[in-house]
Amino acid sequence: MKNKLTVELPPKAGFTPLCVPEIRGNEWKYVKECLDTGWVSSVGQYVERFEQDVAHFVGARFGVATVNGTAALHVALRVAGVQADDEVLISTLTFIAPANAIRYTGAWPVFIDAEPQYWQMDPQKVADFLEKKCQWRDGALYNRTTARRVKAIIPVHILGHPVDLRPILEVARKYNLVVIEDATESLGAKYHGRMVGNLGDIACFSFNGNKIISTGGGGMIVTDNEEWARKAKYLTTQAKDDPLEYVHNEIGYNYRLTNLLAAMGCAQMEQLPEFIAAKRRIASSYSQALKSLPGITSMSEAPWAYSTFWLYTILVDREIFGMDSRALLRKLDQSKIQTRPLWEPMHRSKAFADCGAFDCPVADQLNRDALSLPCSVGLADDDLQAVIAILTSSKLHHD
């Protein structure tokens, strides 16, 4: 079609897709009920039930449903007191949304490298930055270079695996920094036996099309802090101080999830344990098959972690494997298998060219070498074996 603007890369027809939703429970029934009763908008029993279901699953006291994970992050930053010109530490190896959300508040991201083993935010580099590059003055921490106040840390639990959070929480407590978990990719993952999303001060989830559960689009803030939860609900519903008389004392947002989508979320939550088990099974099959393949490093799970393996990812060593990750992507594409590299690290992104740039060599290397493989919850075993067969076939290298 002429003038078509391409914003997404949908799976091509006949391809094994990277990661698509699994809809096989009560989704139709609950959504139909909304349609039959007319409760389709942002008021209705499913929105509240979905909030309770997610908060309960994570072990948090409160949940506040939002239109998407980016909106959840934006509001979480606001209720946590992040203000214009503050700085917020964030993993550089992430999808762009949390960095964007920081800029929506007028604050500035400071990008921190990944650690090489599990590819998550490096706690040592967080501590180094805070201890060596910042200064404690008048009850707050300031970046020596920019003179801006450092207010918060956003550890992003990427790909279904938790960040090593204890050392980050320790240093955050020392300097009175808020910890906002971006748990959008890791619903159901555990850190030392505790659910991610219930480790920091406030956390955010996403339910977009490729997440472990999907509402089409949707998000959630969870927290134990009642005042923050109340403020989040207020801000996400246009900051109404008197809903009848349309009195607003603050600028709010139209960020509340609809009942229609929350209905789908409730049905998806019922299946979450099965979905996690399926993801772990897929990961285990890949890891088993690829473990002795020279030049391929599989995604691993820390001894202190329970990963959902939300997006199964490998590293490709060009020298040993005989081709780099992008060449492998093209090869698999020829066999109708959709794969994807990880994100351009944020410290390289033009969108953040005016933010302080630090060396992030590990994130750069992961960006160069990583490739995510098909891992939908409903991935058929034949399709999984077909991906493995191509990866392990010597033909791959000689075509």
**Footprint of ligand PLP (CB under 6 A):** 68-70, 94-95, 97-98, 156, 182, 184-185, 206, 208, 219
Find how far residue 317's CA is from the centre of its chain. 26
**CA of 244: how far to CAs of 159, 241, 248, in Å?**
44, 9, 11
- H or E segment to which residue 87 belongs: strand 87-91
The three-state secondary structure class of 399 is coil
Which C-beta is closer to ligand PLP: that of 97 or that of 360? 97
**CA of 1: how far to CAs of 6, 14, 87, in Å?**
11, 20, 43
CB of 342 to ligand PLP, least distance (A): 11
Paired with 370 in beta bridges are 315
CB of 289 to ligand PLP, least distance (A): 27
Which C-beta is closer to ligand PLP: that of 217 or that of 289? 217
CB of 104 to ligand PLP, least distance (A): 12
CB of 18 to ligand PLP, least distance (A): 13
CB of 94 to ligand PLP, least distance (A): 5
**How many CB atoms neighbour CB 106 within 10 A?**
11
CB of 121 to ligand PLP, least distance (A): 11
Which C-beta is closer to ligand PLP: that of 96 or that of 390? 96
Do the Cβ atoms of 68 and 217 come closer than 8 Å? yes
Which C-beta is closer to ligand PLP: that of 208 or that of 238? 208
Q: Is residue 10 packed enough to be buried (19+ CB in 10 Å), middle (13-18) or exposed (0-12)?
A: exposed
Paired with 179 in beta bridges are 153
CB of 229 to ligand PLP, least distance (A): 19
Which C-beta is closer to ligand PLP: that of 258 or that of 285? 258
**CA of 386: how far to CAs of 160, 303, 397, in Å?**
24, 30, 16
Which C-beta is closer to ligand PLP: that of 198 or that of 206? 206
By beta-carbon distance, which residue lies closest to ligand PLP?
69
CB of 131 to ligand PLP, least distance (A): 26
Give CA–CA dist 328/334, Å, rounded. Answer: 10
One-character DSSP codes across 193-251: TEETTSSSSEEEEE-STTSSS--SS-EEEEES-HHHHHHHHHHHBT--SBTTTTB-SS-
Which C-beta is closer to ligand PLP: that of 95 or that of 108? 95
CB of 48 to ligand PLP, least distance (A): 20
Q: Which phi and psi (to 5°) does residue 205 adopt? A: -125, 160
Which C-beta is closer to ligand PLP: that of 180 or that of 282? 180
Do the Cβ atoms of 338 and 310 come closer than 8 Å? no
Which C-beta is closer to ligand PLP: that of 102 or that of 290? 102
